[in-house]
Amino acid sequence: MRILVTGGMGAVGRPTVEWLMGHGHTVRVLDLSVDEPIPGAECREGDITDFASLSDHMQDMQGVVHLAAFPHPSMAPPQRIFQVNDGGTFNVFQAAIDANKRGDAEIRRIVCAGSINALGYNFGVVFPEDQIRYFPIDEQHPTYTTDPYSFSKRTIEEIGGYFWRREGLSSLFLRYPAIYDLNTDEPSMLLDFVEGARQQTAAVMSLPEQERQARIAEIIADFKRRARGREWEKAFDWSFPDAHIMLGRSNFWTCLDVRDAAQAAEKGLLADYAGSHPVYVTQADNFIGLPSRELAEAFFPDVTTWKKPVTGTQSLVSIEKIRELIGFEPVYPFKSR
Ligand SMILES: NC(=O)c1ccc[n+]([C@@H]2O[C@H](COP(=O)([O-])OP(=O)(O)OC[C@H]3O[C@@H](n4cnc5c(N)ncnc54)[C@H](O)[C@@H]3O)[C@@H](O)[C@H]2O)c1
């Protein structure tokens, strides 16, 4: 397949481009800067907010993997995040439709980087106390976004729905969790996060019960205090005590190897389905390695509804839908570098 990858020079983009080429696809990358081109890919400099330029980049394409975005609420003012993440996504869809109609392209499907943050919990600033209604969390779980990034990732899903209803262009919004890349020597903030959260959370879980409960109550109270102060939407600060534990909890101890992120994007282009779908995609198991139900009962004591059984270390975020829709199966469980 001839695939346009927007944001293809980024942390998720580069390995995704390499994965796609390694699986026989021809890839064109579109990114703000292509100073370090990816061998084998056609790398083009461009901006998804510049609609007029997109028609040329769509030429001859059969599928789009749309990754270009600000990936964190601290990276730009809110209006700019909306302009790039949402306006840019609208532009990509509209340019694909226009190219198809001109006969310049045959784009049947767009796979977008969504985010687990479409739920609104992790960076959420005023998340109601009882907002996590049940486990395992699935695509039916209500969302409640209050920061510019999470909002942008939730609203792009509406853009996909619109283009399906209007134009019959199907799409997938991969609600990625923290993604790490083991095949690079670069320091990885997300890998450090997962490793820190693993060790520190396991240490808390090993405390005698009463001490553990008191410790976790303290951690949750501090998490909520920081949420009320809108601290989670600022640039990551890992230096304060319990930061790793709090963020592990607010991501429900999910993460993904970038090869599985790439695999999901490829399957999202190739699988046979109609419509526009947000789907959670994560490893099959929590990254702590302890029973998920015990973790949930300890760290989310107010959540008492179990929509489906969760056994062993099975993820508290369900991947049933992506399994059924595109046949995705995670193959790279968490591993330290
Ligand atoms: N990395 C993660 O753990 C993670 C988790 C959930 C979702 N996501 C999503 O995955 C996607 C990729 O994330 P990432 O971590 O690789 O981010 P990144 O910042 O490393 O890469 C994003 C790329 O998009 C490009 N880009 C930004 N604005 C652009 C524009 N206007 N036009 C063209 N290109 C532009 C950037 O130059 C960059 O190369 C994002 O949509 C992000 O929201 C990432």
Tell me the CA–centroid distance for residue 7 and ligand 1, in Å: 6
C-beta 115 within 6 A of ligand 1:
yes
For residue 272, name the pLDDT band (cuts at 50, 70, 90): very high
CA dist 73 to 10, 95, 153, 250, 316, Å? 17, 26, 11, 16, 24
Mean pLDDT, rounded, for 279-299? 97
Residue pLDDT, tens place only, 84-129: 999 999 999 999 999 999 999 999 999 999 999 999 999 987 666 5
C-beta 100 within 6 A of ligand 1:
no
Report domain extents, the chain: 2-183+253-326
Report the nearest-CA residue for atom 18 of ligand 1: 10
Q: Which range among 82-96, 160-174, 178-192, 277-291 shows the weakest confidence by mean pLDDT?
A: 178-192
- DSSP-assigned states of every residue in 193-221: HHHHHHHHHHHHHTS-HHHHHHHHHHHHH
Q: Is the confidence at residue 171, as pLDDT, over 80?
A: yes
Q: Nearest 10 degrees: CA dihedral of 46, 52, 56, 60? A: 110
CA dist 241 to 39, 196, 200, 244, Å? 42, 11, 10, 8
pLDDT of residue 317: 98
pLDDT of residue 160: 98
C-beta 5 within 6 A of ligand 1:
no
Minimum-distance ligand 1 atom for the alpha carbon of 256: 3
What does the alpha-carbon distance between residue 16 and residue 8 come to, in Å, rounded to a whole number?
7
For residue 130, name the pLDDT band (cuts at 50, 70, 90): low
pLDDT top residue among 131 and 119: 119
CATH superfamily to which 2-183+253-326 belongs = NAD(P)-binding Rossmann-like Domain (3.40.50.720)
> How high is the mean pLDDT of the chain?
96
What does the alpha-carbon distance between residue 166 and residue 276 come to, in Å, rounded to a whole number?
12
Report the nearest-CA residue for atom 39 of ligand 1: 10
Tell me the CA–centroid distance for residue 46 and ligand 1, in Å: 14
C-beta 113 within 6 A of ligand 1:
yes
Report the nearest-CA residue for atom 30 of ligand 1: 47
* Paired residues of 317 in beta bridges: 137
Tell me the CA–centroid distance for residue 11 and ligand 1, in Å: 7
Residue pLDDT, tens place only, 138-148: 999 999 999 99
Report the nearest-CA residue for atom 36 of ligand 1: 7
* Paired residues of 257 in beta bridges: 180
For residue 267, name the pLDDT band (cuts at 50, 70, 90): very high
pLDDT top residue among 321 and 130: 321
* Paired residues of 256 in beta bridges: 179
Minimum-distance ligand 1 atom for the alpha carbon of 47: 32
C-beta 73 within 6 A of ligand 1:
no
pLDDT top residue among 42 and 183: 42
